[in-house]
Chains A and B, each alone.
Chain A
Amino acid sequence: MYPDFLYIAPLVFVGFGGILLMLLSPFKQITIRMAAFIALFFMLCATGLYFYNISELYSYYPYAQTFGSMIVADNYSAYFSTILLAGAIFTILIGVHYFEKNRGFTTEFFSLFLFSLFGMMLLVHATELITVLIALEIASLSLYVMIGFQKHLDKRMEASFRYLVLGSISGAFFLLGTAFIYANTQTTKISQIGIFIQNNPQSDVMLLIMGVCFIFITFLFKIAAFPLQNWAIDVYDGAPYPVTAFMAGTFKAAIFGFILRFVLVDLELIIDFWDNILYVVILLTLLYGSFLAIIQQSLKRMLAASSIVHTGYLLIAFISIDITGKSAASSIIFYLVAYFLSSMGAFGLLSYISSDDKVRITYEDFRGFAHIRPYMAAMMSVFMLSLAGIPSTIGFIGKFYIFVAAIESGYTLLAVFGILATFVSIYYYFRLIAIMYFYPSAKMQDVPTLHGMAPYFIGIISLIIIWGGIGNTLITYFPGVDFLMDMARLAYDSLQVK
């Protein structure tokens, strides 16, 4: 065993980085670029520590006396934190260009960014519902401010306010659920709720079931599933591009990280109770999300609406979790990686193209884009192919595992609906590719050429996506999809370590 500090060191690094940047922000010498690199330094240190003991199965409560076993370090939290850190690192690397070009960003932004990341990492480490609430609020409160950071733009302020009001209500529902669970079980620790369920017959857990219903309301709100999805398009549209990318890819992964732990550790015995409700929610999420994505003209709003459809796919795997939830749970974890890469790339490229503070986001603006910027068009095509789930990209493999898990658990109809939604999604993703390539003359002429580091990192993401799709058949020993999948299974196993 390693010293306790090593297990929480990544959290400490990110939190300390946030405080340091906050203290440095009054100094005029610190430019935005320097602040970004300081933030990157802390995030890279934290990421490095997660690879410290990567291949062995572990589950450990660091400082169990001091923290009262409210924080756990296991393979599961390490896997999710690595996803979150990777998302944050890519956001910064791609976004520096955007932050420098647009008015209103200061060095405090990066401090808030690190705090938000800290909250998300704490969320996947937490094993106690109030710790989860605090982590959720740290992440959300920082995000509210980050969305509204350019306070001279009305659009940002409105998006921030909408998210703040709705997010606070969902936080209140989470607390109400926690209160009900506490009233029933006299504990808020995630592992002990499971023990309570095992020791008590079904009839004694009615209050607990109500409490978990309220927590699921928060969960469905934060991932933008059907009845609670309306905020997503507006807020994603109103936020700056890098923040949108960060929310779409990373925050969703963090929320799933918490709820999967909660469900897999505690609720395996009574999860069937919610199957009927979730079934309807999934069908309507897929249907309504596809409808919303089809009618959008603006690319950013289309990507936001399609993220609702991707939530639907993730929920298909979520409902497929049963007593032996291994393949369903690991397919969710894998799909989160695939989705975060694809959406990060798409939003990142859009932010690069529109980074000179001109509004240029509709489909029509991309007419003939491939003729002036062939490399950017190629990268955009890769992201669209991956989001649509075409073979030879990582998106296909993610969808494949999800539908296999659904069929294995007997939800064949849901798998069929998911595949139908994928067919529909080809319309709105391929429309962009068609517009980029099939028109002879380009509409926009003043796109920045490839310079700076952002295009290289966007290129790296697109290579990772293709590597994820075909890599393992080419070179066996280099880590690819199988590696990610094995790690996801290991993460699932570490939840069962007692």
Chain B
Amino acid sequence: MANSILAYVTLAMILFSTGLVGVIVRKNIFIIYMSIELLLNAIILLFVALARYYESMDAQVIALFVIAVAAAEAAVFLSLIVVLYRHKKSLNCESFTILAQKDIK
């Protein structure tokens, strides 16, 4: 049992790290969004593994709630991506430079 939880936690952490690196290095806003989903899914996996390990239902319920939160976030994200694409005709996040860290005269 102890070995299996270790495997699941390791997998979850690898997924989480992949997602974090994806958010930082990728330029396409759609892939940034998918990386953030990966972060949340890694955590869902972690909770489900913990639920199995402790043999308790609490963590499973938490996992369901996290899925709901991820769905709400997806709604806002996707609609924003559509609007941004209409404005810029591009999904590259380097084309969004109006609010760059400089003083606007």
Using CB atoms and an 8 Å cutoff, list the residues of chain A in contact with chain B. Answer: 130, 133-134, 137, 141, 144-145, 148, 151, 154-155, 157-162, 164-165, 168-169, 171-172, 175-176, 178-179, 182-183, 186-188, 230, 233-234, 237-238, 295-298, 301, 362
Contacts and interface: CB of A to CB of B under 8 A. Distances in A.
Given A141-B73, A176-B16, A158 B46 contact: no
Nearest to B79: A145
A159 B83 CA distance: 13
Nearest to B40: A172
Contacts of B43: 172, 175-176, 179
A257 to B, nearest CB: 20
A298 B104 contact: yes
A133 B105 CA distance: 39
Contacts of B58: 182, 186-188
A182 B62 contact: yes
B69 interface: yes
B13 to A, nearest CB: 9
B72 A137 contact: yes
A165 B66 CA distance: 17
B99 A168 contact: no
Contact of B105 (A137, A141, A158, A297): A297
Interface string B1-40: 0000000000000001001100100000100100010011
B39 to A, nearest CB: 4
A301 B103 contact: yes
B93 to A, nearest CB: 8
A188 B39 contact: no
Nearest to B12: A179
A359 to B, nearest CB: 9
B104 A175 contact: no
Contacts of B23: 165, 169
A301 B73 CA distance: 28
B101 A169 contact: no
B62 to A, nearest CB: 5
Contacts of B99: 155, 158-159, 162, 234, 237-238
7 contacts: A133-B66, A133-B69, A154-B87, A154-B98, A158-B99, A168-B36, A171-B69
Contacts of B19: 172
Contacts of A233: 101
A141 B72 contact: yes
Contacts of B96: 158, 161
Contact of A295 (B32, B59, B103): B103
Contacts of B69: 133-134, 137, 171
Given A141-B72, A169-B23, A183 B50 contact: yes
A433 B81 CA distance: 42
Contact of A145 (B29, B50, B76, B84): B76
Contacts of A301: 103-104
A169 B37 CA distance: 10
B100 to A, nearest CB: 8
A237 B101 CA distance: 11
B1 to A, nearest CB: 14
Contact of B80 (A134, A155, A164, A237): A164
Contacts of A151: 83
Given A161-B29, A297-B103, A148 B66 contact: no
A157 B62 contact: no
